[in-house]
């Protein structure tokens, strides 16, 4: 009994075959993704490298044939809400939790310039929110009218004030915009209700985005297709909580460094127990994902170097990361132009390691909560915004930027609490692991049909560093 698991990634199409009885990986392969031409070309090349053909999938050679995709940037979403720290933030939580990449957010009433930018960005989905139930209607109705009169053809999920949702739908459908109504993402002030919206996002992924990305060609011979980040998030939850007789490893922070993005997942309540800390904002979800679209090792290599600053990047890189005649800019340009390049030499690996270290450092800082010091008559107190991850005891590294590196500990140490930035609530005393077999996404897929086997496979892949 075997399962074949396929990931149509932005950079590579990956295949893993699992022996379900032994709960072990028996084959793996990858080939550069070909989403711009025909997605099955990359799949065929990967299959051929392990003596398989697409015909084997059509004949149902495997007990389970499952796939996920983040090809061509994954599920690109724009979230529009009322107040940035309220409905916009609620919309982002729903989108990211469903595996979408939020490429931009807009708040308050849209203007013509913003509308032009949305049209130019051509998102896969627009999430339109605004107002708690019974609250503001004017803003979301204005935004609906702006979208209705635009050139936008993307499906629009309406997750706003329930008093306005039917009016919003009427405005949009009058101009033949594809719409979906669901429950308000923030029905009451500071209370999230994101599951209904996440459900609609996944429906649209299955019904429309698959065809847009060329994945319709493989629908006939795979049983499940979900966004890759959703698969990884399911694996993180499984590993943290466990299943059946497996207890799980407990609170977990996971970082995936890839060619296009760096994703961070946390499985933790993130609640402080300090008396002098006041928590502000939404209650953070136990499972949280953030995606950093500006921190990819290939597509966004210049962005990583820019974020660090050239002086800091040189310091992290050290003396081993470049050929004498090569500049940092020249090396970065080569990587950007050769997104499927796999580093093998010592100098190439050192350059990728430096990029990965900076990506992890920035991505985990953005994902973690932080403290703001305030002076009260009763003494010094702190306001906490976001998740307190200081007590998280496990950090897991996955993605090619970490798994294929030589010095895993050096990269993952960037996710640990830094006394020089004591206001950032990163883990203070965690164990460090890597996903040695690079099966995180695959076990998330497998967990949909066989969670116990999936848990065993990911457990075997964990190596402490």
Summarize pLDDT for 322-343 with one digit per residue, the tens: 665 568 888 999 999 998 899 9
Domain assignment present for residue 208? The answer is: no
Same domain, 282 and 399: yes
In sequence order, what are the residues at sequence separation of 6 or more whose Cβ sits closer than 8 angstroms to the Cβ of residue 301? Answer: 332, 335, 336, 355
The pLDDT tens digits of the residues spanning 189-202 come to: 878 888 899 888 88
CATH number at residue 19: 3.30.420.40
Q: Are residues 404 and 259 in the same domain?
A: yes
Q: Is residue 200 part of a domain?
A: no
Give yes or no: residues 66 and 186 share one domain. Answer: no
The answer to whether residue 100 is domain-embedded is yes
Task: Kindly state whether residues 53 and 104 are assigned to the same domain.
Answer: no
Q: Does a structural domain hold residue 205?
A: no
Taking the C-alpha atoms of residue 364 and residue 370, their distance in angstroms, rounded to an integer, is 11
**pLDDT-based confidence at 239, cuts 50/70/90?**
very high
**Which helix (H) or strand (E) segment is 296 a member of?**
none
Cβ contacts of 87 within 8 Å, gap of 6 or more: 81, 107, 129, 130, 131, 160, 185, 186
Do 63 and 80 sit in the same domain of this protein?
no
Classify the C-alpha dihedral 359-361-364-366 as positive or negative: negative
Q: What is the mean pLDDT of residues 133-153?
A: 92
Average pLDDT score, the chain:
89
Sheet holding 262-267, edge to edge: 287-292, 262-267, 252-257, 394-398, 431-435, 462-464
111 and 175 both lie in a single domain: yes
**Tens-digit pLDDT profile for residues 351-369:** 999 999 999 999 999 999 9
The end-to-end CA distance of the chain, in Å, is 33
Which residue blocks in 192-287 are alpha helix, DSSP H? 195-204, 210-212, 228-241
Most confident of 128-137, 202-211, 318-327, 446-455: 446-455
In a domain, 168, yes or no: yes
- Mean pLDDT across 265-273: 90
Q: What global pTM score does this model have? A: 0.86
Q: How many domains does the chain have?
A: 3
Mean pLDDT of 114-140: 91
The residue-averaged pLDDT of 304-318 equals 91
Most confident of 263-277, 325-339, 381-395: 381-395
* Residue 354: both structure tokens together: 């430096």
458: in domain: yes
Q: Is residue 203 part of a domain?
A: no
Let me know whether 49 and 85 are in one domain.
no
Question: Do 150 and 243 fall into the same domain?
Answer: no
Q: Is residue 166 situated within a structural domain?
A: yes
**Residue 226: predicted pLDDT:** 85
Local structure of 144: helix, strand or coil: helix
31 and 121 share a domain?
Answer: no
Q: In terms of residue numbers, what domain contains 60?
A: 2-72+213-222
Tokens coding 69 = 């995709």
Same domain, 37 and 145: no
> Do 239 and 363 share a domain, yes or no?
yes
55 burial type by CB count under 10 A (0-12 exposed, 13-18 middle, 19+ buried):
exposed
Whether 242 and 287 share a structural domain:
yes
């Amino acid at each position: 009994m075997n399962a074949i698991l396929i990931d149509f990634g932005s950079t590579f199409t990956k295949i893993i075959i699992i022996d379900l009885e032994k709960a072990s990986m028996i084959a793996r392969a990858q080939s550069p993704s070909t989403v711009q031409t025909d997605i099955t070309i990359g799949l065929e090349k990967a299959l051929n490298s392990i003596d398989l053909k697409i015909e084997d999938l059509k004949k149902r050679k495997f007990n389970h044939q499952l796939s996920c995709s983040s090809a061509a940037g994954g599920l690109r979403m724009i979230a529009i809400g009322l107040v940035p720290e309220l409905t916009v933030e609620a919309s982002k939580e729903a989108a990211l939790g469903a595996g979408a990449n939020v490429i931009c957010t807009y708040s308050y009433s849209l203007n013509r310039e913003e509308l032009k930018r949305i049209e130019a960005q051509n998102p896969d989905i627009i999430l339109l929110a605004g107002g708690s139930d019974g609250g503001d209607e004017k803003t979301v109705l204005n935004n609906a009218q702006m979208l209705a009169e635009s050139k936008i053809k993307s499906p629009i999920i309406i997750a706003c004030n329930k008093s306005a949702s039917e009016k919003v739908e009427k405005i949009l459908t009058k101009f033949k915009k594809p719409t979906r109504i669901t429950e308000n993402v923030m029905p009451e002030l500071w209370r999230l209700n994101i599951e209904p919206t996440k459900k609609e996002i996944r429906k649209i992924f299955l019904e429309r985005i698959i065809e847009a990305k060329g994945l319709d060609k493989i629908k006939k011979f795979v049983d499940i297709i979900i966004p890759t980040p959703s698969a990884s998030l399911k694996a993180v939850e499984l590993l943290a909580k466990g299943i059946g007789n497996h207890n799980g490893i407990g609170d977990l922070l996971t970082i995936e460094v890839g060619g296009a993005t760096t994703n961070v997942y946390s499985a933790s309540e993130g609640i402080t127990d300090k008396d002098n800390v006041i928590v502000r904002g939404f209650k953070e979800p136990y499972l949280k994902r953030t995606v950093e679209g500006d921190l990819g090792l290939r597509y966004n290599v210049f962005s990583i170097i820019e974020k660090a600053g050239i002086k800091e990047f040189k310091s992290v890189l050290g003396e081993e990361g470049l050929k004498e005649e090569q500049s940092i800019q020249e090396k970065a340009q080569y990587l950007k132009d050769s997104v499927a390049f796999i580093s093998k030499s010592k100098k190439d690996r050192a350059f990728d390691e430096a990029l990965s270290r900076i990506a992890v450092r920035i991505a985990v800082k953005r994902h973690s909560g932080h403290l703001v010091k305030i002076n009260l008559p009763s003494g010094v107190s702190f306001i906490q915004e976001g998740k307190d991850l200081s007590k998280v005891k496990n950090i897991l590294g996955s993605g090619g930027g970490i798994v294929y590196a030589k010095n895993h500990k050096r990269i993952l140490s960037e996710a640990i609490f830094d006394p020089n930035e004591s206001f950032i609530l990163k883990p203070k005393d965690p164990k460090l692991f890597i996903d040695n077999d690079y099966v995180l996404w695959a076990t998330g897929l497998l967990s949909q049909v066989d969670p116990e086997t999936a848990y065993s496979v990911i457990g075997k892949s964990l190596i402490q560093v």
